[in-house]
Amino acid sequence: MTAIDAAKLTADLIRCPSVTPQEGGALVLLEALLSDAGFSCTRVDRGGISNLFARWGEKGHAQTFGFNGHTDVVPVGDEAAWSVDPFGAEEKDGILFGRGATDMKSGIAAFAAAAIDFVTNTPPDGAIVLTITGDEEGDALDGTTALLEYMDQENEQMTVCLVGEPTCPNEMGEMMKIGRRGSLTAYFTFTGVQGHSAYPHRANNPVPVMARLMDQFASHTLDDGTDHFDASTLAVVTMDTGNPATNVIPAECRATLNIRFNDAHSGASLTEWMRQTADQLSDQTGVGIDMDVKISGESFITPPGALSDLVAAAVEAETGRKPELSTSGGTSDARFVQHHCPVVEFGLVGKTMHQVDEQVPVAQIHQLKDIYSRILRDYFS
């Protein structure tokens, strides 16, 4: 079988307009390609989201290497601002353009191509599993979580897993992820008593209370970092009254904050801290404070060891750079996989992800396939 051209496969995937939650043909393409190579493929669609599970080799083998990634992409934004068709997969001067070029159709193409070539040319004593979702850029409720639940039900497993998200800030090979911070968003509603601004004593203004509480949160030092994580961060992202009148004290206002937290905290502990702080201020002022918290994921870490050593060695062999073991950045689907098996992340330089004219050097796609191929060879050797 002719080796799979990962750059061509990336271009084919870009031409599938798979903006969350649309499948766009990307998973159909991958399922056909993997099936032809001997992978057992199952669509695990749920809640209007398309997902693909593919396995080569014996079910439940003790040596099962897993790859995880997503074919869904964010919207293109202002299409007129693009210099190319966002779904045209145009190549210019060795650069491939298109939505998903970096995040992360190139990563999908690289690990699919590496896996197919590997099982075709040197069938291992073990199994390879690919879990590919169409719901990473969305709410992530029916994507990788659905795939993992399906695996539990069917007694499928991965011994270890590599997520192919972009991980390098500037140069190929400089960083891999061994964990991620947790993330939560808290929504506050403040309820006072409406009144005339000339007679503030007859009202109970919730706006100063909102400002005080948000300042208390923003001024608080959550921690100074831990062994593998930078300090947790808290950002107030909006404060709104919706009040167009200058002579009216509003009855209600709202504020939202986001916390990215390390392993010194949990979503529950931070929620309790915010609740107690808000209740105390509410008791002092008489302004009602309601809080709704959405926890997107808890912090986690895969301790440095066999898996991170395996990936780091392959990256250094192919790029000449020893990757930094990092927990920086936002969330990824690794937060779900970590409950199933040890997981790390390695992928391309992510400078243009989600941007207008998202792009990737073609040479980097081939290099990424080489890295993934070496990881498979070394794992099964």
Cα of 103 vs its chain's centroid, Å = 10
Written as one string, the DSSP assignment of 228-266 is S-PPPEEEEEEEE-----SSEE-SEEEEEEEEEE-TT--
Return the bridge partners of 130, or none. Answer: 54, 67
User: Which of 71, 56, 74, 75 is closest to 133 using CA atoms?
Assistant: 71
Is 136 catalytic? The answer is yes
Q: How many CB atoms lie within 10 A of CB 97?
A: 22
Here the tokens at position 284 are: 């002092």
Give Cα separations from 269 to 216, 261, 275, 330 (angstroms). 17, 11, 10, 20
User: Which of 171, 183, 122 is closest to 327 using CA atoms?
Assistant: 183
Q: Which residue has the tokens 């809080």?
A: 291
Here the tokens at position 45 are: 């669609």
Cα–Cα distance measured from residue 340 to residue 323, given in angstroms and rounded to the nearest whole number: 25
Q: Do residues 186 and 257 make contact, with C-beta atoms less than 8 angstroms apart?
A: yes
Cα–Cα distance measured from residue 112 to residue 71, given in angstroms and rounded to the nearest whole number: 12
Q: Choosing from 12, 23, 31, 72, which is the catalytic residue? A: 72
Written as one string, the DSSP assignment of 260-304 is EE-TT--HHHHHHHHHHHHHHHHHHH--EEEEEEEEEE--EE--S
Using DSSP, state whether 357 is helix, strand or coil: coil
Q: Choosing from 117, 135, 136, 137, which is the catalytic residue? A: 136
Here the tokens at position 60 are: 């439940």
Work out whether strand 127-133 and strand 233-240 pair parallel, antiparallel, or are unpaired. Answer: unpaired
- Residue ranges of the alpha helices (H) in 286-361? 306-319, 334-337
Is 174 catalytic? The answer is no
Cα–Cα distance measured from residue 223 to residue 231, given in angstroms and rounded to the nearest whole number: 6
Cα–Cα distance measured from residue 164 to residue 107, given in angstroms and rounded to the nearest whole number: 5
Give the active site residues. Answer: 72, 136
